[in-house]
Amino acid sequence: IKPKVGTVCFGVAASQGALLLAGGEKGMRYAMPNARIMIHQPQGGCGGHVEDVRRQVNEAVQARH
């Protein structure tokens, strides 16, 4: 059984909550007129050898687009 899942935001869907909201079936994702949905920009730290830092920066740039 593969039931269709609908999601509704009544107030705030922030961070991981926004991803859960997006997990609803296409055409079954809703937000009330005054609802707020917030998704973070990718963030993180990096360290190590220069090539490791370069690779981590490139991955972060790709994740942002």
Alpha helices by DSSP H, the chain:
16-22, 50-64
Tell me whether residue 58 is exposed, middle or buried, using C-beta atoms within 10 angstroms of its C-beta: 0 to 12, 13 to 18, 19 or more.
Answer: exposed
40 carries an active-site annotation: yes
Residue of 2, 26, 40, 64 marked active site: 40
Q: Which residues are catalytic?
A: 40
